[in-house]
Amino acid sequence: YVSVASRTMSTVRNCKAKLPPGPNTLPLIGNLHQMVGSMPHHYFKELALEYGPISRVYVGEVLTVIISSVDAAKEVLLTQEKNFPQRPVSLVGKIVIYDKKGLVFSPYGDHWRKSRKIAVTELLSTKRVGSFLSIREEETRDLIDSVAATRGAVFNLTEKFSGLITCGISRAAFGERCQQQDRFLSLLDEIVALGGGFSLTDAFPSLRFLSTLTGVKRALLKIKHELDTILDEILYKHTKIKGLGGTRDDIVDVLLKLQDSTSDQDDFHLTLNDIKAILLDIFLAGSETSATALDWVMAAMLKHPEVMERAQSEVRAAFRGQGNAREESSKELSYLRSVIKETLRLYPPFPLIPRLSIRHCEIRGYDIPPETRVVINSWAIGRDPEFWKDAERFMPERFLGNPVGFLGADFEFLPFGAGRRMCPGIAFALASIELPLSQLLYHFDWKLPEGATPEQLDMAESFGGTCRRKEALNVVAIPITP
């Protein structure tokens, strides 16, 4: 059941390919023993220093090619993108996402193309994101009120960001915070815990019994069943309201309308499972990434008080006397936008962009056999001294007047990926990040807990579904009237 397509040690041994260089491997476990205890993107960067920008490791038995330079990334994501048009299939994609429906795990082909078109033009377009403005404003207002209620005491900002983002996505997707929201979100967290990062079952695809032995398969099946029931209820409620003539325009409504406008005879008919898979993708791909990004931006500013001060001055000057920061004028906040970019350069929430080769090809003289996992280390590329002056330093001003952008045209900066599989949620993500940030800077001054200095603020990472901060961000907010 768990046949995960990937090139493994035993199948490579039988082919006479000139593979990229890499460290010696142990039978069975490959290079897993060297990876233990370090962040995968850090370990892969070390490999690049030793073996060059195209290297290989065996994650368990799976051949994994690591891409660590701008030129090689451009080749995989642009010049030769037709050879790498999909992601490796994981157990989560198979079991939870309705056998690889939706976008994230969907293999390249007609189904993915049509789902992608729906996401880009109907669900996550700038226009649609604009239509969710009142949701963002209300959720941000709640955040500001709850921060004000801390009255100068230390509180956990990481938790608040997580709540803000998931409520925002829930309301945009379902029109309201669904009744079982807490259960729904904790099931998503369980998925990330079981399948995020490099999971053991995906590292040994030939050991089909492993997912059963470890209990992962059973746990995922149980989660899938529960999620399915919750989503069925939500869809039923929306259909009922629509039948009574109610009109709303949340993401579920848009998907149900699209379903009505196609029939079984059309070449692409959205089934209920397609709709549920797209909804799960939006939550899984959009919530932790956006909350993690917000957390890193605030942490980076607390670590660099001069940056915080400059960003605050910009926001307060732009909205002086208006009582609030407003999204409509966020274009004026060029420094804050640079702070966000600089944070995503140094701390991309999704530092390793995974792809799968679908045919044999060659990159810079190395053979890449079909079904090879290829990972672009966007974290290492974002710190490449060849492209970034003082690459390890946090300097938002480097982005002022610099055309390098989020849209995947600049291969030295890939926080949202690039090419045909690049993130379709950029507009949604930036809107969800910029408004709360500008409001938090407008209404409060920020401090670390008594006795902690910016130099001591720990920026250590923890790698799972996303690369988040290891420690929660505990802070003090002092209300001010700009």
The contact set with ligand HEM (CB under 6 A) reads 103-104, 116, 124, 281-282, 285-286, 289-290, 293, 349-350, 353, 415-419, 421-425, 428-429
Nearest CA among 451, 447, 455 for reference residue 473? 447
Residue 32 or 285: which CB sits closer to ligand HEM?
A: 285
3-state SS, residue 450: coil
Query: Could you give the CA distance from residue 474 to residue 455 in angstroms, rounded to a whole number?
Result: 15
CB of 271 to ligand HEM, least distance (A): 18
Neighbours of 26 (CB within 10 A): 11
Q: Annotate 146-179 with DSSP letters as a single string.
A: HHHTTTT--EEHHHHHHHHHHHHHHHHHHSS--T
Residue 118 or 147: which CB sits closer to ligand HEM?
A: 118
Query: Could you give the CA distance from residue 41 to residue 59 in angstroms, rounded to a whole number?
Result: 13
Query: Could you give the CA distance from residue 408 to residue 346 in angstroms, rounded to a whole number?
Result: 16
Residue 281 or 371: which CB sits closer to ligand HEM?
A: 281
Residue 255 or 418: which CB sits closer to ligand HEM?
A: 418
Residue 122 or 154: which CB sits closer to ligand HEM?
A: 122
395: left (phi over 0), alpha (psi -120 to 50) or beta: beta
Q: Which residue has the tokens 């009109």?
A: 247
Residue 132 or 204: which CB sits closer to ligand HEM?
A: 132
DSSP H/E element including 74 = helix 70-74
The whole-angstrom distance between residue 135's C-alpha and the CA centroid of its chain comes to: 21
DSSP H/E element including 115 = helix 110-118
Neighbours of 478 (CB within 10 A): 11
CB of 397 to ligand HEM, least distance (A): 21
CB of 72 to ligand HEM, least distance (A): 15
CB of 285 to ligand HEM, least distance (A): 3
CB of 387 to ligand HEM, least distance (A): 18
Residue 44 or 350: which CB sits closer to ligand HEM?
A: 350
CB of 329 to ligand HEM, least distance (A): 22
Query: Could you give the CA distance from residue 297 to residue 25 in angstroms, rounded to a whole number?
Result: 38
CB of 375 to ligand HEM, least distance (A): 10
Kindly give, in sequence order, each residue whose CB lies less than 8 Å from that of residue 179, ignoring residues fewer than 6 positions away. none
Strand residue runs (E) in 331-460: 352-356, 361-363, 366-368, 373-377, 444-447
DSSP 16: -
Residue 157 or 476: which CB sits closer to ligand HEM?
A: 157
Report residue 303 as tokens.
């670590």
Residue 155 or 416: which CB sits closer to ligand HEM?
A: 416
CB of 152 to ligand HEM, least distance (A): 30
Report residue 433 as tokens.
């990040």
CB of 140 to ligand HEM, least distance (A): 16
Report residue 345 as tokens.
């350069």
Residue 104 or 188: which CB sits closer to ligand HEM?
A: 104
Nearest CA among 246, 401, 394 for reference residue 306? 394
74: left (phi over 0), alpha (psi -120 to 50) or beta: alpha
Query: Could you give the CA distance from residue 139 to residue 436 in angstroms, rounded to a whole number?
Result: 9
Query: Could you give the CA distance from residue 315 to residue 253 in angstroms, rounded to a whole number?
Result: 36
Residue 282 or 380: which CB sits closer to ligand HEM?
A: 282
CB of 227 to ligand HEM, least distance (A): 17
CB of 133 to ligand HEM, least distance (A): 15
Residues 463 and 325: beta-carbon distance below 8 Å:
no
